[in-house]
Amino acid sequence: MSDITVYQPDFLFAEGRFHEGRALAVGADGRVLGAVPEGARVERLAGRALLPGLVNGHSHAFQRLIRGRTEYVASAGGKDDFWSWREAMYHAAEVLTPEDIHVASRQVFLEMALAGITTVGEFHYLHHQPDGTPYADRNALAHAVIRAATDVGLRICLLRVGYARAGFNAPSNPRQRRFIDADVDTFLSTTEALSHATRGDPRVNVGLAPHSVRAVSRDWLTQVARTAPASMPIHMHVAEQPKEIEACLAEHGRRPVELVSDVGLLGPRFTAVHGVHLTEAEVTLLGRAQATVCACPSTERNLGDGIVPADALVKAGARVSFGSDSQTVVDLLDEARQLEQHLRLVRLRRAVLDPGTGTLDGLSARLFDMATVQGARSLGMGTGTLSAGSPADFFTVDLHHPSLVGAGPTSLLPGIVFGAAGGAVREVAVAGRLMVRDGRHPLTDESGRAFQQLARRLYP
């Protein structure tokens, strides 16, 4: 029984609700057991509520370096938007070495762990050396990111990005030379090589990510749809910016979701990241396909992108997940609450995403499902729940934290989703092994020092 650990919190979230006095038993394989065996080692988590680990569906790890460095208008009398922000982002992208990528990624993954995130989907598009020459191992930078995640203790789905051009009828952009693959066959074969290299690690999955309709051609999308392994998730930036839609209409006479549907990419394993500017017809297409839309409200509001029409998407049958994207902040519960609260501002009513169950926790349960189950589904990972046989990935919150004190069994989940401060997260585990104890990760100091040195070198 020494290989079995029983975690005993005050409240355990399972089967969609909190149970008082119930324990979580974890086997030697890191999976949840269906029953608590006698004689197992018990770890009491007094004053804690234990929940499935959060799943961050969309991340650009290296962009943690530009947090706080783009919040101004760079030219007098000018304006700041997604496109001007992108130029500032290129400054970091152009100079990072593989070790720099590891340092930056490790720091933001550490921040994710401290926020209760146990799985991350990394939308990875930095592939080559600064001059655009491929590394001897074309996946050198991807391996640096994966190593950072596993160093911290997270699971990761490395979504290798395909990037072919600057845009429709746009001249090549030298600032994108680290992103560009020679052709779609190189993109597919390199992704398959990465999948093969990581196949033995249960913490790692690999997916395909044609960047966007502006960055790849219809031929690329068609080839991905025809040849992508059935086991691989497919993610793509879709309908984030009006200019993207205008260019798609000019090139194809179709809007982005329509184009993705035409080439055969749209389906249950497809995730449209952002999905801000959608027509009713596109919402219907996403719903019929049972596709996922990964909303990133902190980035979408920071860049002035707009608001994801999640209420329409859910009604149509689409799934919704969450991502931290540009790392403006790393707080997936805040992403969930902001999606709902942004919709309240534009719909002029409260509880927009409430499923209509008439229960106190109906809305928070839906949002929490998006932050766990739906995120895991979009990444092809078996996480997101604490049912028997599932990986024992979880986090706890301190019931005595000032932001949660006073919550009862029925108001606890709404209190966590809508009110928990970051400091309320105390323990975090992947496969039943604690990587965060009482709000502390063992790599905090080492990672912080290395990241500080990197940031000072890039921004003296």
Residue 16: CB atoms within 10 A of its CB come to: 12
205 strand-pairing partners: 157
State the catalytic residue, choosing from 58, 211, 274, 342.
Answer: 274
Residues 204, 154: Cα–Cα separation, whole Å: 9
Angle among Cα 27, 28, 34 to the nearest 5 degrees reads: 15
Is 342 a residue of the active site? Answer: no
Q: Say if CB 352 and CB 343 are below 8 A apart.
A: yes
124 strand-pairing partners: 160
Q: Is 171 helix (H, G, I), strand (E, B) or coil?
A: coil
Q: Say if CB 10 and CB 29 are below 8 A apart.
A: no
Q: Which run of H or of E encompasses 122?
A: strand 117-124
State the catalytic residue, choosing from 181, 325, 369, 393.
Answer: 325
Non-local (6+) Cβ contacts of 327 within 8 A are: 59, 60, 61, 63, 64, 67, 108, 111
Is 325 a residue of the active site? Answer: yes
Residue 447: CB atoms within 10 A of its CB come to: 22
What letter represents residue 6's amino acid?
Answer: V
Residues 116, 133: Cα–Cα separation, whole Å: 38
Residues 224, 234: Cα–Cα separation, whole Å: 9
In Å, the largest CA–CA distance within the chain is: 71
The residues annotated with a catalytic role in the active site are: 274, 325
